[in-house]
Structure 1
Amino acid sequence: MLLPDGYSDIPAGKIAAVVTHLEMTASPPRRDDPPGAWRLRKADPPTPDWYRDLYRRVGEEWLWFTRVGLSDADLAARIQAPDVEAYALVVDGHDEGLLELDFSEAGQCELLYFGVTARLIGTGAARFLMNRALDIAWSRDISRLSVHTCTFDHPAAVAFYQRSGFRAFRRQIEVADDPRLDGTMPRDAAGHVPMIE
């Protein structure tokens, strides 16, 4: 169903975001790493407790909610799947960034989750992390790398992905229950997204 031009009502208790899908079909020119004492560590295997902590610290501000309510078994099945790889950006011995890649579709890779904690935004850490993501993805036999972001994410996310070599190819509206209203996420998460009860 296509939405009509103009405003469309979203029921109270729901949230709505504009989702932008981006892709690249060839490895882009390599961008230099910014200066910084960062390193990448593969979580092998990622545990649900470790993942939840990093996912929350990176994504709570941007209303990342799709994995918050999963049981340990369901989360482990996703993050420990044979074709899924999870990495941490390590700063001063602490995990401060999340990179998750899905190679389950032949010839393709999806950048499932990507981000750094709030204290690292604007430091170059995300550029370092993206350089590692591109290195890992394009070292495999793929012809397409994709990612999606939404209007709940950092306002510079789309431009960052485009500077990294992605091009936008699709836009959607995502409507979901507001996870702050049922206690799945803290009520003060994502202050830039107002709650309508």
Structure 2
Amino acid sequence: MTAEPLPTSSWPVPPQDGYTVDDLLTLPDLPPHTELIDGSLVFVSPQRSFHSIVIDVLVNGLRRTAPNELRVRREMTVVIDKRNGPEPDIAVVRAGAVRSHSQTSFEVGDVVLAVEVVSPDSEARDRDTKPHKYAKAGIPHFWRVEMAGADEHPVVHVFELDPESRTYRLTGIHHDRLKLPAPYTIDIDLGEIDHL
């Protein structure tokens, strides 16, 4: 009796020192929204309706008041360094960083706001890993959005970068309305999720 050979896997085999951003941007057939964190590919679970609707509300609100020198993008890779290419749910970037409609990433220095909508499979990354990396890389503003309460409405935790320590400090927690002066004048009714 001979043993049957094990089936070969179609999973990519990581290089000895881990993947790079170049790998992330060029490997064929990666699942949508794959991220690179510390040289490891991170695959994302299917998202809940809350995740999609909140992103829509925030993107629409951010675009409505964005000045000409900024653009709002959803789910695009941000190149932090050779081994880190996370994909914030929303990024506000400098208009000059938008080069074409086929572009797949932005350099971290062009990002002025990163937004993460927390999902069950990404809690640690969205609360700890990614904000830490965004702050160390110098992204001036960060929002963390969570579902809260029996009505499952969004709560937006707003952070600004302390340039000396390269850490974020909490500047506010917003439940019903997101009204802010920075990174530009923003006024978003978070209750819009009930109408989408």
Same fold (TM over 0.5): no
Q: TM-score, normalised by structure 2?
A: 0.32
Name the larger-Rg structure: 2
Q: TM-score, normalised by structure 1?
A: 0.32
